[in-house]
Structure 1
Amino acid sequence: MSVTPRRRVRRAALKGVVCALVAVTGAGLTGCGGEDPDAGTNGLGKLPADTIQTKSRAVAQSAEAVRLHGTVAAGGSTYRLDMRLKADGGTGSVAAEGTTFGLLRVGEQLFLKADAGFWSHDGGDAKAAEKLAGKYVKVPQGDPVYKKFSGFTDKDVLLAGLLTLHGEVKTDGRHEQAGVRTIRITGDDGAGGSLDVSLEGAPYPLGLVRAGSAGTLSFSDWNKDFALKEPPKDDTLDYGKQLPSS
């Protein structure tokens, strides 16, 4: 049975009224002149900002492994990190003040690998620096270097400190990180930092801008395991209770 022009007009008018009502009430109906932005997502975008923050922190803390890279400002210095972390340690590189060094922690054992320039900075012992250069140097737990850098290898401590926005948390639209759709949440309209959380699959944090211009980080390889073991004995040096010039 065909539909008369009058009935078509009536249906169109009725649909216009429904869509106008949707626009006023904010109901999430489709078919009113636009796609549902949450279609095909994990639904995180429909949740309040504080709930998004809670869920993203929970899945991050429960993840077995993660890679993070970017910059972190701390203690008057800016560090560029490229670290892979899991519960019992981490490995990667850190760049700061014109030098780059490697960090490796397995359990409580922390190793630092750097060139002679790193070890001889600030008037350090040149002979000791040549000996340590290019080796995995075991860092004593009582040495200030251990306290200064071991945090960069501790997944739980690092994530707990980083994934905290300051001030009132709000949503700030949908974005994208490395081709993955995200929902962004901010603290104090961005002054307290911003965090992009995945709208695909588990709600993992994918991008962070820290409050006070204290760095920008990307997170990837969530739950992707990696090898973590102590370096070979012939490539390791134990300098004793305290490192030179540390």
Structure 2
Amino acid sequence: MTAIALGRTRRTSLVSAVCALVVTGTGLLAGCSEDPDGGTNGVGKLPADKIQSKTRAAAESAEAVRLAGTVVTNGRTYTLDMRLKSGGGSGTVTSKGVAFGLLRIGEQLYLKAGAEFWNHADGNTSAGGTLDGKYVKVPQGDPSYKKFSGFTDKDVLLDGLLTLHGALATDGHHEQAGTRTIRITGDQGSGGTLDVSLEGTPYPLRLQRAGGAGTLTFSSWGKDFPLTQPKKDETVDYGKKLPTS
């Protein structure tokens, strides 16, 4: 637990203890009911649609973000751990128990995986030995380019993810990784839930997608990171249509 979170817990416990002991004829003394929005950025007092517009604007304007969790699409579950910014992104994706790395710098996309990935995807055991641990250039004209590059595109990925379906409403104050949040829901939760930071910029911190389509956490908002071009001896051209396992 962070020092901030620990301090907040102790403060809350102290207030609760004092309020439990000091009672007037009409109930607890004034001030014993702590304002959940006290010392926050104030978005917790806004209606749900305003909170959503503010958190989307904050996400769009941020230079970088890290997202981690699961996304279910077309019946397949992907586990992501990606760092993204306007110029590209990098990280790992796991599907059907097999992990692979993605790196995009500008328009150039690389896929890096072990022999298990290539043997499974290609059905050719010799390919695994050749491509094992190498950065494979993904041709822009290949169907897999669009599929994989979407995992590395901050704007495309967030625009598709940060959407709640149905009527919006607030669902109380919560906490995510030691940060106070306000939760908004779509269709009373069946359309997804989104926890928005009440501290500093109102960034989205946790998303539960509608219909059990995955849960993601967002962190490192605005924290830049390097995108390094792979060395020549670490890069290979696949030489034919790339498999899309």
Which interval holds the TM-score relative to the shorter structure?
Answer: 0.7 to 0.9
* CA deviation after TM superposition for structure 1 residue 122, in Å: 5.3
Instruction: State the distance in 2 between where 1:179 and 1:245 align.
Output: 38
Corresponding residue for residue 147 of structure 1: 146
Corresponding residue for residue 174 of structure 1: 173
Instruction: Please give the residue correspondences for 1:1-246 in structure 2 after superposition, counting only pairs within 5 Å.
Output: 31=30, 33-121=32-120, 124-240=123-239, 242-243=241-242
The one-character-per-residue Cα deviations of 1:194-227 (angstroms, maximum 9, x if unpaired) are 0000000000000000000000000000000000
Which 4+ residue blocks in structure 1 deviate beyond 4 angstroms? none
The one-character-per-residue Cα deviations of 1:156-208 (angstroms, maximum 9, x if unpaired) are 00000000000000000000000000000000000000000000000000000
The answer to whether the Cα contact below 8 Å between 1:182 and 1:198 also exists between their aligned partners in 2 is yes
Instruction: State the distance in 1 between where 2:47 and 2:243 align.
Output: 51
* CA deviation after TM superposition for structure 1 residue 128, in Å: 2.1
Residue identity opposite 1:116 in structure 2: A
Instruction: State the distance in 2 between where 1:200 and 1:120 align.
Output: 47
> What is the SS of the residue equivalent to 1:230?
coil
| Structure 2 unmatched runs, 5+ | 1-23
The answer to whether the Cα contact below 8 Å between 1:125 and 1:245 also exists between their aligned partners in 2 is no
TM-score computed with the length of structure 1 as normaliser: 0.85
| Structure 1 unmatched runs, 5+ | 1-11, 20-29
TM-score computed with the length of structure 2 as normaliser: 0.86
What is the count of residue pairs matched by the alignment? 221
The answer to whether the Cα contact below 8 Å between 2:144 and 2:244 also exists between their aligned partners in 1 is no
Instruction: State the distance in 2 between where 1:72 and 1:244 align.
Output: 21
Q: For the aligned residues, what is the CA RMSD?
A: 1.9
